Amino acid sequence: MPSFSLAALTVLELAPPAMIDVAAACGYQQVGLRLLPAMPGGVAHPLMEDEVGLRETLARLDATGITVADLEVVALRPETEIAAFSAFFETGARLGARHILVADYDPDLSRFRDRYASFCEAAAPYGLTADLEFMPWTYAPDLASAARVVAQVGQPNAGVLVDALHFDRSRSSIDELANVPTHRLHYWQMCDAPAEQPATTDAMIHAARHERMFPGEGGIDLVALARAMPADITISLEIPTIELAKTMDAKARAQRALDAARNVIARSLDGA
């Protein structure tokens, strides 16, 4: 079995120390921490501005043996200044994080490529990869476009982040995935969703941020995707379920996610 990481979005109500305890209790090996909001005003835990919270988080990591897979969310926009991420990188290094989730919100492709390359260069001394997540509503809308950008910047720590939901909704293909060099795939995100595509972009965004399904409970061919991904990279379980969270606590949801993901991986390995 690969290692599994509990993504912040799955249990967004939890601060990092509590999230780490839940991950350990359920049997995860890693967590993903949201230090920056996905959108202005969104939920985040900026540990680079909270020394007390950072020390408590480090203590929980040490006590549980959980490690940090990735940090979220770096949205590169036209006005983004790479120099502003110094404290973010330093905090990532203190946490022992391995990857950074990057999103393209810049309509100027040339400017984005240059800024992304600079971001990769700035992150590298801290031992961090910079993984471009394609999402249909961003300027890297699908696997092919993200892979092309990563290849063009040529930075050793640049990567393509495959989220099962966005892979399906962008109509990316397993054949396209086969063309992505394996060294550009550092980790991936698993969830499920109804087979039917959302009717609007707003509906797609809402589902992605608030209502996904546990692996194996929807219509995405996760077994085929798991077989196409490198077997030895971390799988981040990113499964927000806002309605269910009203009646099921974070630990129960995290456990259900992990059990379901393990079942998908078992099926991918046994040929079922």
**Residue 49 belongs to domain with CATH number:** 3.20.20.150
What does pTM read for this prediction? 0.96
Q: How far apart are CA 138 and CA 124, in angstroms?
A: 25
Torsion sign (Cα): 133, 134, 135, 138: positive
pLDDT at 272 (0 to 100): 47
Mean pLDDT computed over every residue of the chain: 96
* Cross-strand partners of 162: 188
- Stretch 7-11: mean pLDDT: 98
In the chain, what percentage of residues exceed pLDDT 70? Answer: 99
| Contact call for residues 120 and 149 (beta carbons, < 8 A) | no
Q: Give the residue from 58, 56, 124, 60 showing the smallest Cα distance to 94.
A: 58
Domain assignment of residue 79, given as a range: 4-270
**Model confidence band, residue 96 (pLDDT cutoffs 50, 70, 90):** very high
Structural domain count, the chain:
1
- Stretch 63-88: mean pLDDT: 97
- Stretch 70-81: mean pLDDT: 97
Q: For 40-156, where are the alpha helices, taking DSSP H only?
A: 51-64, 86-95, 109-123, 143-153
Identify whether 102 is preceded by a cis peptide bond (ω within 30 of 0): no
pLDDT at 55 (0 to 100): 98
